[in-house]
Structure 1
Amino acid sequence: MSSQKLIITSFSLVLVVILSCQSVHSQLRVGFYSHSCVFAEFVVKDEVKKAFFANPGVAAGLLRMHFHDCFVRGCDASVLIDSTASNTAEKDSSPNNPSLRGFEVIDNAKARLEAVCKGVVSCADILAFAARDSIELSGGLGYDVPAGRRDGRVSLASEAPTNLPPPTFNLDQLTQIFAAKGLTREEMVTLSGAHTVGRSHCTSFSDRLYNFNGTSSQDPILDPTYAAQLKQQCPQGSTNPNSVVPMNPYSPVLADTGYYIDVQANRGLFTSDHILLSSTATANQVHQYARNPFLWSSQFAAAMVKMGQIKVLTGSAGEIRSNCRVINN
């Protein structure tokens, strides 16, 4: 098949997948705010742009936040709720604190929208729009976001660890946790490509450098040059909670296929990155994406649309929070 035919086929595929995803929840639709708050998506994109130009790393934060929101209770903006004296919320759970960032971008967009469209635009939709805008600003494909989500009223820190995959998961564990959210193994490999942007705390992978399988050695699979570089950035015994490294050292702010190229070369930062090579099917998908950036970009867009519809609240369910950090009284 020629490269031109492959591109056409890939583009046709992503359109079909996105359209089919849009029919999953008939109450979610593209252009949901076209009459009730016509500038909703523009305002969100404007706030994401301002934050991105000040710090390109915020894009990865917003993308990660959307993922962490959808995997716990569905895409209901529960990850945005602040803890109270009587409840520790999702954002303060071990998988989210201190790794999540970008909350102020959502706050700013919400404040502007409340000023012109009071009580109309949900925090859950703002987060979905912001994730899309982050991908596009980072060089990925833009896509239409079906909207109409409403906001949840419950956020429990105890639910995050059991719903969010840790960096130590093997292939079967990853497949199972994605399947529980209605996502296929193929979509898991596709969405793993989000690791092409952003950063990780050293504590998330230091066992691969100094304490692999309970020994004093490093993971023998890691590329030795890459491992040496990581050891310089993450010294053994360091207790600095702010020590971070880029997920993709060569293009950390670009939504490109560098992630898959790194995984092929044994430079996947997490165990859960490297295990994508542990089956023929997933390894073939990694190799395919590494060779064909457009194929990954288009399928990533389709997978994001589908992920953004996990257990959404629509109609009269939930609420439209006036402040994304606090449930309405």
Structure 2
Amino acid sequence: MNARRAHFRVLFRQIVGALSLQVVFSSVLIATGGFLVLNKQLTLGQLVAAEIIVSGLLSGFSKVGKQLESLYDMLAGVDKLGHLLDLPAEPTGGSPFPAHRSGPASVELKDVSFTYAGREVLESASLRVEPGERVALQGQSGSGKSTLLSLLYGIRQPQEGVLEIDGETMHTLKREALRAQVAMVRGLEIFDGTVLENVVAGRPQVSAEDAREALENMELWNDVKMWPQGVDTPLRSFGSSLSMGQARKLVLARAVASRPRLLLLDESLDDLDEQSRTRITSYLFDPRRPWSVLVTCYSLPVRPQASSSDPPSTSGYWSRSADGNGFSP
């Protein structure tokens, strides 16, 4: 808001200045010309001609001033683009993920540390998630839950320690290979396009039938089929044309449509209504699904099913608390 006030303050000063300059020059010209006409040093016709020429020049100058707003917008856009291009790019190298791997993935952190803006978010954190395990991570804001998921998705790199997925060191893998195995839900990342395009998200391995099945499992298909255009219904950025619950279900459907081997949910279940949350969580945590799950939350998900040789908690999954120094069962 302060930036917009400053922006319009500058524009107002420039427009007023241009108009004031036009008035002052015209007044000076008329006064000087009138004096010369009275002294018979200038004819009245010459004065009128001079006034027309000067008024035209000043009018053109004033019009140029009115176009400065577009110039400022362009310069601001170029500056923002420069900041974007200055951001560090993701590494493009790396090895492909072994093609024969299938089923839920295992994950292991070994003494992982991460510092953000001078503050240590993770300090020598260690965690192991077995294939098919469903783990809920709880902790206060700033305890490192979301940072952990960012590390596992390859958005950030740890300053110390090792992250492994199925025994493969993650920083040696191609980002495309990693994200073909891992899906993450964070926020309401919906782009301009149809419902189908938002679920498929440009992935050739996701068919229209996969998208429909994902929408059904995320409790959104009944809404979609009631819309006049169905899955071809256009959506706006950030899901502004959807309710909060519908937008959340859509991004969850996008994540499960590709059947990832590791599913990361960053506080993506907290804002669902109780009935939808119960059914969706039961589906996501079902041991028959082809993924392991890590979910961060403020309150524990409701009684999903679980299976493992280790005993789960009474809620049916494994709860780990995050304190920045590791994750304890």
TM range, normalised to the smaller chain? under 0.3
Q: Which has the higher helix share?
A: 1
Higher RCO, Cα 8 Å, sep 6+: 1
More strand by share: 2
- Which TM-score applies when normalising by structure 2? 0.26
Larger Rg: 2
